[in-house]
């Protein structure tokens, strides 16, 4: 079989949008969506994707939330008092992360189509690891405020980038379950933040550092190591994936094309952004996501809320875990059901109502 050659100026997934090189597969492209697996080769390929892409993205997202939520458990170890902050200043530091997050998300999502996703995702993770580690050397409110702001900017590229990678390899019937598995890393990161802190806080005054400072150092260093490994494991696009054979590359490419609803001429990133903003469904989803985030924002203060029940620090941290573990299991089952029935909107609105 002839080797696959990719033009350097061809953006990722451009071959899918144009339907180039699909051969017999092109005749299957329509508005009916995906079908069942066409053979054992496709089943084997999906299993390979599940055991390569998903674990890496899951671990990366787990540390994404572990690093951002470290501040919520650090408060129980005296962070607020040591930095001479008021309660209002602490809450501002928690919230400022989302200002940076908003500023970084759309530009990063536009940039990922122009660079290698593996380098982009790994690089973003390395940057947020460095920023998170620097939290350990902050001396006052202003220092913590700055690190939280830049943590938001550097963490912003991950989630949209992860969805972009999943969309390159999975069809519509498969992707809901994979996204829910990925999202469970968010929930588990929040769940285990307290349990990890119980152990790390025992390092209090080791080398003269508070336990909460060690928490940021340890988690930041591990995050940085994982970011380097992710660069070599994450794929860039189906036709240019190192750990897939040439036949599997072509099959992965054809699967996405087969699931494409419609083909459009190649457009610029800005044109695509403007087209998306004109879609009323986008704004409905924005409203839904806004309501969801407002309903779940309590988790930024959940350890403090549990502490008011009168438990000691370690019991408080342990009690923050069970609710999120239950939530993670339910979310995966819920998303898998919506994927099988292709009823995403129905399941989504029911879930939002339950929130």
The number of residues making up the chain comes to: 355
Nearest to 352 by CA among 339, 340, 337, 334: 334
Q: What pLDDT shows up at residue 256?
A: 84
- The C-alpha atoms of residue 24 and residue 167 are separated, in whole angstroms, by 22
Q: How many CA atoms lie within 13 A of 174 on its CB side?
A: 22
- The C-alpha atoms of residue 159 and residue 124 are separated, in whole angstroms, by 11
Residue-range domain boundaries for the chain: 38-260+267-354
Q: What pLDDT shows up at residue 4?
A: 43
Burial (Cβ within 10 Å: 0-12, 13-18, ≥19) of residue 48: middle
Beta strands in the chain (DSSP E): none
With bands split at pLDDT 50, 70 and 90, how would you rate the model's confidence at 345?
low
Cα dihedral sign for 349, 350, 351, 354?
positive
Q: What pLDDT shows up at residue 130?
A: 98
With bands split at pLDDT 50, 70 and 90, how would you rate the model's confidence at 201?
very high
Q: Tell me the per-residue pLDDT of 142-182, one tens digit each, with 9 for 90 and over.
A: 999 999 999 999 999 999 999 999 999 998 888 888 988 89
Nearest to 174 by CA among 84, 49, 308: 49
Its CATH architecture, for the domain 38-260+267-354, is Up-down Bundle (1.20)
Q: Tell me the per-residue pLDDT of 283-323, one tens digit each, with 9 for 90 and over.
A: 887 787 777 677 666 677 778 788 888 888 888 888 888 88
Considering only residues 84 and 187, tell me which one the structure prediction assigns the higher pLDDT: 84
| Res. 14: pLDDT tops 70 | no
Cα dihedral sign for 253, 255, 256, 262?
positive
Helix, strand, coil distribution of the chain in percent, nearest 5: 75, 0, 25
Nearest to 241 by CA among 157, 164, 159, 165: 165
Q: What pLDDT shows up at residue 11?
A: 44
Q: Tell me the per-residue pLDDT of 96-139, one tens digit each, with 9 for 90 and over.
A: 999 999 999 888 888 888 899 999 999 999 999 999 999 999 99
- The C-alpha atoms of residue 116 and residue 331 are separated, in whole angstroms, by 31
Nearest to 64 by CA among 164, 221, 230, 185: 185
Cβ 204 vs Cβ 210: under 8 Å: yes
**3-class SS of residue 260:** coil
- The C-alpha atoms of residue 315 and residue 307 are separated, in whole angstroms, by 9
Structure-token match 């590359």, residue found: 249
Look over the chain and give the mean of its residue pLDDT values, rounded to a whole number: 82
Burial (Cβ within 10 Å: 0-12, 13-18, ≥19) of residue 242: exposed
Read off the pTM. 0.78
Distant-in-sequence, close-in-space partners of 130: CB < 8 Å, separation ≥ 6? 220, 224
Considering only residues 146 and 276, tell me which one the structure prediction assigns the higher pLDDT: 146
Bridge partners (DSSP) of residue 206 are 209
| Res. 13: pLDDT tops 50 | no
| Res. 338: pLDDT tops 70 | no
Q: What pLDDT shows up at residue 262?
A: 57
Q: Measuring CA to CA, how many Å separate 335 from each of 32, 175, 285, 348? A: 20, 9, 16, 9
């Amino acid at each position: 079989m002839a080797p696959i050659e990719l033009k350097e100026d061809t953006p990722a997934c451009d071959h899918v949008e144009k339907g180039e090189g699909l051969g017999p597969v092109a005749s299957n492209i329509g508005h009916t969506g995906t079908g069942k697996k066409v053979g054992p080769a496709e089943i084997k390929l999906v299993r390979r994707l599940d055991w390569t892409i998903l674990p890496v993205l899951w671990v990366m997202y787990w540390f994404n939330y572990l690093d951002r939520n470290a501040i919520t458990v650090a408060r129980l170890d005296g962070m607020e008092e040591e930095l001479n902050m008021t309660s209002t200043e602490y809450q501002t530091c928690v919230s400022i992360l989302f200002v940076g997050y908003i500023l970084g998300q759309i530009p990063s999502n536009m940039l990922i189509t122009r660079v290698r996703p593996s380098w982009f995702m790994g690089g973003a993770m390395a940057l947020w690891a460095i920023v998170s580690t620097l939290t350990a050397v902050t001396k006052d409110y202003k220092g913590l405020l700055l690190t939280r702001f830049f943590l938001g900017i550097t963490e912003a590229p991950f989630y949209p980038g992860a969805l972009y990678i999943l969309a390159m390899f999975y069809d519509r019937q498969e992707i809901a379950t994979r996204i829910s598995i990925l999202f469970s890393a968010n929930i588990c990161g929040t769940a285990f933040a307290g349990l990890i802190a119980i152990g790390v806080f025992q390092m209090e005054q080791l080398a003269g550092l508070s336990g909460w400072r060690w928490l940021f150092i340890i988690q930041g260093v591990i995050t940085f190591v994982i970011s380097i490994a992710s660069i070599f494991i994450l794929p860039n696009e189906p036709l240019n994936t190192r750990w897939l054979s040439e036949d599997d590359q072509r099959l992965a490419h054809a699967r996405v094309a087969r699931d494409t609803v419609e083909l459009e001429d190649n457009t610029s990133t800005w044109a695509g952004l403007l087209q998306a903003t004109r879609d009323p469904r986008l704004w409905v989803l924005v409203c839904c996501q806004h309501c969801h985030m407002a309903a779940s924002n309590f988790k930024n203060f959940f350890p403090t809320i549990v502490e008011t029940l009168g438990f000691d620090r370690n019991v408080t941290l342990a009690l923050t875990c069970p609710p999120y573990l239950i939530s993670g299991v339910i979310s995966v089952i819920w998303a898998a059901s919506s994927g099988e029935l292709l009823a995403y909107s129905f399941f989504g609105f029911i879930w939002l109502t339950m929130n």
